[in-house]
Amino acid sequence: MAEPGKPRRPLHFGPDAMEAHGGTLPDPAEAAEAAHTAAQTVIDAGRGDSSPVTTARLVRLVEDLGIDTLAQLWAGRPARSLPGALWRVYVLRAWIQRNPEVAAREYASGLVVAQVSHVIAGVVDPPGTEEVRDLSDRILGGVFDGDLAVALERAAAFCRVVATGRAHLEDGDLDAAAAMVTTAEDLEASARLWRQGALH
């Protein structure tokens, strides 16, 4: 039993366990609708109450729910959709929080070449571990208490600088750099769709 005042964590069942408990798995259309509804609910919660406390709680959603829970909900949705964009921003923050030294090193390597993206991203110069961690919180916070399109563009710009850094480092991973460019492109496209009222 959960302690009073502490949030209860949802239970997760596999297909066999669901059937054993008399439940059925949602069909793909139901799963898609649930993902999009949850994404809109998160956005509405943040934008309806943009207090620092609410924003901070939504920024820490991965810590509270777990990355696997969000993955089950959003990872399978199209990259250029509201749940797909939110998933990418949350995963970017989780990566930075988990690997701040790597993120700072790759970012520092890329900012020399990708100056425009560096300015858009808004990282303090020179970027250290605390600076990139702080930026990841500020970008995700901007999803809820600022302009969503701007927040997505800042996340995309950060990805572009990191991708450039990965490509220029001697031990850089070119496949990982290419994946980061793809993420940047998807976030930029999502920002455009949001401005058009077409990001769902």
pLDDT digits (tens, 9 = 90+) for 59-93: 999 999 999 999 999 999 999 999 999 999 999 99
Q: What is the pLDDT of residue 21?
A: 41
Answer whether residue 139 shows pLDDT above 80. Answer: yes
Instruction: Kindly indicate the confidence band of residue 26, based on its pLDDT and cuts at 50, 70 and 90.
Output: low
79 closest CA partner among 67, 94, 91, 69: 91
Instruction: Kindly indicate the confidence band of residue 127, based on its pLDDT and cuts at 50, 70 and 90.
Output: confident
Q: What is the pLDDT of residue 36?
A: 95
91 closest CA partner among 74, 109, 108: 74
> How many whole angstroms separate alpha carbon 192 and alpha carbon 29?
25
Q: Please, which residues have CB within 8 angstroms of residue 106's CB and are 6 or more apart in sequence?
A: 162, 165, 166, 169, 172
Is the Cβ–Cβ distance between 95 and 103 less than 8 Å?
A: yes
Which of 12 and 163 is assigned the larger pLDDT?
A: 163
Q: What does the mean pLDDT of the chain come to? A: 86
Which structure tokens are listed for 86? 């939110």
> How many whole angstroms separate alpha carbon 89 and alpha carbon 154?
10
Is the Cβ–Cβ distance between 156 and 187 less than 8 Å?
A: yes
Answer whether residue 116 shows pLDDT above 90. Answer: no
Instruction: Kindly indicate the confidence band of residue 138, based on its pLDDT and cuts at 50, 70 and 90.
Output: very high
Q: What is the pLDDT of residue 6?
A: 39
Which structure tokens are listed for 47? 């934008």
Q: What is the pLDDT of residue 49?
A: 82
Instruction: Kindly indicate the confidence band of residue 40, based on its pLDDT and cuts at 50, 70 and 90.
Output: very high
Average pLDDT over residues 101-120: 90
81 closest CA partner among 34, 47, 36: 36
